[in-house]
Structure 1
Amino acid sequence: MKKLAIFCLGILFLTSACSDDFLEVVPSNNNTSDEVFRDITRAQRFLNPAYGGVRSQPWISLDTYTDNAVSYDGAKRAAVSGATAESSAVAGEWTRAIQRILHINEFFDKGFNVVYDAFDEDLAIALKQRIRGEAFGLRAYYKWILLKNFAGPSAQDPNIMLGIPVIDRLLTIEDANRVGRSNYLDSYNNILKDLDSAETYINTLRYAGDGDVDGAQFTSRVSGEMIWALRARMALFAASPAYVQITMDQAAQAIYEAINAIDGASIVPLQSFGDFNDVSNPDHLWRKGYSETNNLEVAHFPPSLFGRGECNPSQNLVDAFPDIYGFPIANPLSQYDPNNPYENRDLRFDRFVFHNGSDDFNNTTIETFVGGKDAHGGIRKQASRSGYYMKKFLSSKINLDTEATSGNRDFKMYPIFTREGLYLDFAEAAVEAYGVAGQGPGMAFSARDALQVIRDRAGIVQDDYMDIAVTNIDTYRELIRNERRIEYAFEGERYYDVRRWQLSSTELEQPIMGVKVLKNSDDSFDYSYWEIESRNFEQYMYYNPIPRTEVLKSQAIVQNFGWE
């Protein structure tokens, strides 16, 4: 008898949330399949494993495969010498996404063929409708994960841009392995179809209040905001140079519609970064559940703050932060001083990066100068390789040098989609579609308007540079891309952005730089810069390989060009 791929998947998924909202329930000896799906609460919990693949922490390590950062424990092979079809930075995303799509398909196959107990008939109907919408939304999300990571030109015909295997029904393992990859545009449209279905069943734009169907306790579940944000991100990728499946005008329109649906065609100010612990941040359009932890601090605080300092920002990234007036530091009008390189900088720099002299966490001054507490040979022999430590996402309220509960934990939540992400998506698409004006017919705002609120939050004064940038399309494009690099630092998005933009191999092979800080007798510092890691990039690496094991065991999966 053929064994369904789905029944063995339940034990693979563990989820976390701020409550028991994501507890898993599966059929067992005591609960038959019909009994599980007849109970609305059990049916909802059966879907929960599908949320297990939604990222609950930023993908920090993926930035170490770019020019944004290096890892404290050495170079990543795939970044330095090149990925292989057996081992790439994103290889695990294939299996994780496929498994959850199959789990969702089982839910569709069984979860709506019974009548839920009518303990409250109206409530049962409303919950059933929302849960069905969630299933469509989650399936769209995992299809997007596959498309984002593995779309590429066919090894059999490089002129064909392949997408994903579209699996929309319950299949045996054997049958699933017979499903080939659709082309990119068909895959894209299939995901949009799932999102349209999700929107049909989910009537809630944002969960709030204490309702039994649309209350704030369901914030981590698929909502209208998530659906719109995913449509927008997909459109930007589909229009990008690496894919060119739709026009930038179509992408800009799709993103504008998303902003219109969420914010009524207006650009609104953004919340401050703070300690990244605001559980009700209105700029979070979709996130997984939160908890009180210190995991990120333990992993990424510098040694003098009793952390491991795992992610080391590069000098390349540090140089991307403009001065306080928004000018790139290489611009002649910039207030950047190479003798005091950390002064008069965009406020995001101090919030995202620990550097020599940082002193705003736990009354500790970070010392990355030679012989300092946070340099090699200081508190720990293994310290930052670049002279910097990641600070973004870390809480100033956490003190690891204490046994007390208070001060050792803080709320942590990582948004998958954000309002600033929507604005960045729109700015990029609008400039490409409409030029430096960045505003299409009938639109209530421009690319500049969207970019301005992001720079306002960064504390940029006057922003005279924006007036200069908008006069030249190349300068403006670079400004938008740089803003995206800064805003998404340590989240992994740059890994995808540089590929979909198809930056030249010359740019992508720039060495990763670090800083060497020497302390003088008068307590001043001298700074010099050195190469930490080289980078290797071939043209076919714009597109990731399908894991070779998946190609070998499949009877239909075609590899991406260059990875055969």
Structure 2
Amino acid sequence: YWDRNYKAINQLNIFLEDRKGYNTRFLIDADLDQLVRDRLQGEAFGLRAWFQWDLLQKFGGKGMNGQLLGYPIVLEPLDYTKKINLVRDSYDDCVKQILADCDSAFKYLPIAHRDFLVDNEKDKAYAGSRYWGRIDGVTTKAIKAMVYLTWASPTYNPQNDNSRWDMAAKYAKEVMDFKLNVDGGISKGFNPKNGVNWFDPNFPGIIWSSRPQDKNDSMERMFYPNGFQGDGTMGASQELVDAFPMNNGYPITDARSGYDPEHPYKNRDPRFYSIIFYNDAKVIRAGKTEVMYTFENWGKDKAGISSKNSKTNYHIKKFVFMGLNWSDASINRQPHSKQFIRWAHMVLTFAEAANHVVGPLDAAKYDISAKNAMAHLRSRKTYDGTNGYDADPYLDEVAAAGKLAFDAFIKNERRIETCFEGMRFYDLRRWSNSIDDLNQSVHGVLVQKNEDGSFTYILNNKIENRLFPSVYLPLPYDEMLRMENLIQNEGWDSWK
């Protein structure tokens, strides 16, 4: 990631140096040429902000000198014919640089790439929806919201500067308002009640995404077990499964939930059934009643039977297109793209930050309370179209319990909503008080099929003991050897 990000930043710096890219003539028509120049200049600043944010999220941390450090800020092309010996900038300075690049990008970019926001019909040749999925003004606001959220979190905010939480809430709310009032104000536009469509590159809930890979089955191949021609590369942990409430909204640890450990998958939160494949779960063809596969985690799909089965005896349904079957004469593969930033991310960012500033119930400061923001996620349809919560008494109760209880609630909801999107590890780091917060054992389930056809579940089967030496990731060892000015993050003494 270090190498990839700096290569990208260097290319962007070449474009931005002395405004070379901006002063290039791309088109004969002066007005259209200005559109292209503005967009490319804005994208260059925006992408540089994104790659720097990736560096900060991955490598920012407390150095062995006791200071919070980020990455070496590089704003000019590097001369690779000369010795390069960079110095890490402070964490705060890195944040300020990312925010500054977002602001620079915003000056050049349209607020969003939408045809209905383009006034001149002629301009649609070089503006509007044809650039959907590329960085725009709303994306820069979303990046700022995420940067402020991490900067406000305990690991990176030792002084507990509350203004950082406020700015995170402010920018996240601006993005939410845009999705609700602008994207939501057109026919077939954004509707917060709808579930995420992972297979539609034009899904209105997207804020910024990768280019789609058309007719792709990589996710399905990765997540299905060997018995359904998959590789079982990843599985869900028992800890994640336990994070899902029951269908009345109460956590399984609450006596009112109705949770039965002998039937652990019965009457769970509707989101559970659209995210996790568990023992005896059915793969039902999309739009049909045909059962294409039944999970037997006591038999053919059991961990250890094949290296292509999940180690936890849970498999992943999220991102999996339910119309795909490799045994079909004509295999129905759908587009897949990475939704870097989407509606739910901004709702979670807003709720967490707003709760820190004014608590869960105050709607005066931001025109919506943290509680009502979370209701958007709890009440919408699941990924497979099942209705969410209509009544949600637990949400009412936990909001009334105050900031601390609601913060714990948001963290659990964030775990559910963003699972398998590569965000949990960084969330744990920014929330952590010590390395013990990361070094928790990971469990799965053991399934036994009884003679009468029932199942016995052992829900505490240890899969892995995690032993991270530090809350922070290490800077790459080869970079440490190459540049003696770099300071390694604490906990990585053997990598310095």
* TM-score normalized with structure 2 length: 0.87
Deviations along 1:419-438, whole A, 9 cap, x unmatched?
11011011111112223435
Which residue of the other structure, out of 276, 301, 322, is the alignment partner of 1:396? Answer: 322
1:150–1:543 CA contact under 8 A, matched in 2 = yes
1:305–1:401 CA contact under 8 A, matched in 2 = no
Counterpart AA for 2:58: N
C-alpha separation in 2, matches of 1:234 and 1:147: 9
Which residue of the other structure, out of 87, 93, 103, is the alignment partner of 1:180? Answer: 87
Counterpart AA for 2:317: K
Which residue of the other structure, out of 208, 218, 227, is the alignment partner of 2:140? Answer: 227
Deviation at 1:503, TM superposition (A): 4.8
Deviations along 1:346-402, whole A, 9 cap, x unmatched?
1111111111121143413433342x2312476x46422211101111100111123
Query: What pairs with 1:522-561 in structure 2 (closer than 5 Å)?
Result: 522-529=452-459, 530-538=461-469, 541-561=470-490
Which residue of the other structure, out of 341, 353, 358, is the alignment partner of 2:264? Answer: 341
Deviation at 1:518, TM superposition (A): 1.6
Which residue of the other structure, out of 204, 211, 214, is the alignment partner of 2:127? Answer: 214
Counterpart AA for 2:294: I
C-alpha separation in 2, matches of 1:364 and 1:230: 41
Which residue of the other structure, out of 447, 451, 455, is the alignment partner of 1:517? Answer: 447
Which residue is equivalent to 2:104?
197
SS in 2 for 1:364: strand
Query: What pairs with 1:132-531 in structure 2 (closer than 5 Å)?
Result: 132-155=41-64, 157-158=65-66, 160-173=67-80, 177-208=84-115, 211-244=124-157, 247-261=161-175, 263-264=177-178, 270=192, 272-273=194-195, 276-290=198-212, 291-362=214-285, 363-370=291-298, 372-376=299-303, 380=306, 382-405=308-331, 407=332, 409-437=333-361, 439=363, 442-457=365-380, 459-470=388-399, 471-529=401-459, 530-531=461-462
Counterpart AA for 1:128: R
1:105–1:168 CA contact under 8 A, matched in 2 = yes
Distance 1:434 1:356, change over 3 A: same
SS in 2 for 1:429: helix
Counterpart AA for 1:177: I
Deviations along 1:276-310, whole A, 9 cap, x unmatched?
11222121100011122111111211233221111
Deviation at 1:202, TM superposition (A): 0.5
Deviation at 1:313, TM superposition (A): 0.7
- Point out which structure has higher relative CO (alpha carbons under 8 A, 6+ apart): 1
2:398–2:409 CA contact under 8 A, matched in 1 = yes
Q: Which moved more, 1:322-331 or 1:496-505?
A: 496-505
Counterpart AA for 1:534: N
1:304–1:366 CA contact under 8 A, matched in 2 = no
Deviations along 1:431-459, whole A, 9 cap, x unmatched?
122234355x5320011111111111251
Distance 1:375 1:183, change over 3 A: same
Distance 1:523 1:248, change over 3 A: farther
Deviation at 1:467, TM superposition (A): 1.9
Which residue of the other structure, out of 19, 35, 50, is the alignment partner of 1:126? Answer: 35
1:324–1:335 CA contact under 8 A, matched in 2 = no
- The runs of 5 or more residues in structure 1 that have no matched partner are 1-92
- The runs of 5 or more residues in structure 2 that have no matched partner are 185-190, 286-290, 383-387
1:229–1:422 CA contact under 8 A, matched in 2 = yes
Deviation at 1:498, TM superposition (A): 0.6
2:283–2:294 CA contact under 8 A, matched in 1 = no
SS in 2 for 1:119: coil
Number of equivalences: 463
2:282–2:295 CA contact under 8 A, matched in 1 = no
Deviations along 1:211-242, whole A, 9 cap, x unmatched?
22322221122111211110000000001111
1:354–1:366 CA contact under 8 A, matched in 2 = no
Deviation at 1:556, TM superposition (A): 2.3
Query: Matched residues, percent identical?
Result: 32
Distance 1:115 1:416, change over 3 A: closer
SS in 1 for 2:134: coil
Which residue of the other structure, out of 75, 83, 94, is the alignment partner of 2:2? Answer: 94
Distance 1:118 1:495, change over 3 A: closer
C-alpha separation in 1, matches of 2:168 and 2:308: 47
Deviation at 1:256, TM superposition (A): 2.3
1:395–1:410 CA contact under 8 A, matched in 2 = yes
Distance 1:329 1:504, change over 3 A: farther
Distance 1:415 1:382, change over 3 A: closer
Distance 1:115 1:386, change over 3 A: closer
C-alpha separation in 2, matches of 1:146 and 1:197: 19
1:301–1:309 CA contact under 8 A, matched in 2 = yes
Distance 1:373 1:115, change over 3 A: closer
Counterpart AA for 2:86: V
Deviation at 1:145, TM superposition (A): 0.7
SS in 2 for 1:415: coil
Counterpart AA for 1:120: D
SS in 2 for 1:491: coil
Which residue is equivalent to 2:187?
none
1:242–1:542 CA contact under 8 A, matched in 2 = no
Q: Which moved more, 1:395-404 or 1:419-428?
A: 395-404
Distance 1:562 1:504, change over 3 A: closer
Counterpart AA for 2:451: S
Counterpart AA for 2:165: A
Deviation at 1:265, TM superposition (A): 9.5
